[in-house]
Structure 1
Amino acid sequence: MAVDDIDRTRVSVRRPALAPAARRPVAALALLGLVALVVPALVFAGDTGPSRLDLRVEKAVVENAPGGSYDVIRGIDWLGEPVGRALLLVAVTLACWLAGRRALAAAAVVSMILVTGLATAIKPFVDRRIHAGFLSYPSGHTAALTAAALIVGILLADVLGLGPIAGTAVMLGVTVAGAAVTSWAQIILDAHYPTDTVGGLGLALVVVPVTALLTDAVLRRTGGRRA
């Protein structure tokens, strides 16, 4: 390996998961996510049916769904299934790695695995149910795809060298788009109540920033020797 290649590798390893300009906005997203996760969990714990808000949102979404969109909806839903999540994880991690953001790639792997595990672990504690007693809060599909979208948003803001305002706008835009599309699919399929998807969004907003911040803390302690 040439000296220049070694230097580039060292730089990519030492590059933090979060650019300095993204740290405060991402920390703020984590606080927002905590509220979005905890408040509905407390309000709807033990419920076995939709709230009035859920019914209104469901009606609006179903009535305004474009014709011929079923295949698209099923495709989005598939991305939240185990195989789809695995492929999504590989795609997002590879994008970070190829862009030279290896710490972010490591954070992507850990956070997307954590999101899946935590969504499953939280459900019995909230004990909200849909259909024939299936645990529904938070939506794991929404959490997984929102986590992937947020990581992509962080990557784009870093690669484009955006400042705090523009970077936050990009991160929010990509994340909200990912969450909205996934929530829409889950509502149309009647797989989750709309407020379940809010919990999934909140979970992703907590896990991804915290994982990225912890990854950077480890990098600082180890002097960047490992991504």
Structure 2
Amino acid sequence: MTGRPTPTVLPPSLRVRLGLIAALSTLAVIVLGVLYAGHSRPGKVDGWIQPAVEGVRPPWRNVALAADFWGEPAGAAMLVVAAVAGCLLLRRPRAAGLIVAGVGMTVATTTLLKSLVGRTIHGDNLSYPSGHTAFATALALMVALLATGLLGLGRTAGTLLVLAAALVAGAAMGWAQAALGAHYPTDVLGGWCTALTVIPATAWLVDRMADWLVDRMAAAARRERR
């Protein structure tokens, strides 16, 4: 006898759609990475957008700095701890595991891509993709997946919730990064797409590993009863 102690973190109704979104996002990350590899100046798209958002003054600069804090190590750690605690209080250990694994994979992926692409801003600061934007989007995606499962949302409503959460979080953090001059707008887009690539894949892996562990435990229990 086998069973799952908790619901899946990647709802079955969303797997195909999020898989397609992840595939398209992967393509976008690769294309942008190739286009801006080794660059140290804004591209054409950056030139259109950056003047409109960069150099904001108070009070909007204070808002941008506050958003930026939640992508820094201290702020990000507090958000992750709060999210994990919330998952455990809701008795969703798989979701807690996804938060930890998803954040870890997102940080690792953006760090690797920055080294591979080699795009810089303000000297030697690696900029593509934006790690702050990727983190904010990833966390929003994982919380939205949890909410989808808790509320029992269907395919359309679940997809809309997940994409809306990713868009709002990514846009807020992305605006802050561009407004503060920490990243080019295309770095922000790359970070957003990185999260859309990493989180669905990580959620699928967490479910597979959890199911495998449950099956192994059930098999061990059967052997003990013999």
TM-score by length of 1: 0.88
Where 2:41 maps in the other structure, the secondary structure is coil
Q: Deviations over 1:101-152 (max 9, x none)?
A: 2212101101101211221122121010111121111111111111001111
The answer to whether residue 99 in structure 2 is matched with residue 114 in structure 1 is no
Q: How far apart are the structure 2 equivalents of 1:225 and 1:59?
A: 57
Contact 2:106 2:134 in 1 (8 A): yes
The answer to whether residue 53 in structure 2 is matched with residue 61 in structure 1 is yes
Q: How far apart are the structure 2 equivalents of 1:122 and 1:171?
A: 24
Which one of the candidate residues 183, 186, 190 is aligned to 1:199? 190
Q: How far apart are the structure 2 equivalents of 1:98 and 1:29?
A: 30
1:131 maps to which residue?
A: 122
1:151 maps to which residue?
A: 142
Q: Percent identity?
A: 37
2:13 maps to which residue?
A: 21
Q: How far apart are the structure 2 equivalents of 1:225 and 1:175?
A: 35
TM-score by length of 2: 0.88
Aligned-pair CA distance for 1:67: 5.4
Q: How far apart are the structure 2 equivalents of 1:217 and 1:130?
A: 39
Which amino acid is 2:189 matched to?
A: V
Q: Following superposition, which runs of at least 4 residues in structure 1 exceed 6 angstroms of deviation?
A: none
- Cα distance change, pair 224–160 in 1 and its aligned pair in 2 (3 A): farther
Which amino acid is 2:163 matched to?
A: L
Aligned-pair CA distance for 1:33: 2.0
Contact 2:53 2:179 in 1 (8 A): yes
Question: 5+ residue gaps in structure 1?
Answer: 1-9
Q: How far apart are the structure 2 equivalents of 1:209 and 1:183?
A: 21
Q: More displaced, 125-134 or 189-198? A: 125-134
Aligned-pair CA distance for 1:60: 2.6
- Cα distance change, pair 225–59 in 1 and its aligned pair in 2 (3 A): farther
1:3 maps to which residue?
A: none
Contact 2:9 2:149 in 1 (8 A): no
CA RMSD of aligned residues (A): 1.9
Which one of the candidate residues 159, 163, 177 is aligned to 1:172? 163
Q: How far apart are the structure 2 equivalents of 1:178 and 1:43?
A: 25
Which one of the candidate residues 171, 175, 180 is aligned to 1:184? 175
Aligned-pair CA distance for 1:181: 0.3
Where 1:24 maps in the other structure, the secondary structure is helix
The answer to whether residue 73 in structure 2 is matched with residue 82 in structure 1 is yes
Aligned-pair CA distance for 1:190: 0.2
Contact 1:15 1:102 in 2 (8 A): no
1:213 maps to which residue?
A: 204
Aligned residues: 215
Which one of the candidate residues 43, 46, 51 is aligned to 1:51? 43
- Cα distance change, pair 35–95 in 1 and its aligned pair in 2 (3 A): farther
Question: 5+ residue gaps in structure 2?
Answer: 218-226
Q: Deviations over 1:177-227 (max 9, x none)?
A: 00000000000000000000111111111111111101111122223678x
Q: How far apart are the structure 1 equivalents of 2:150 and 2:57?
A: 35
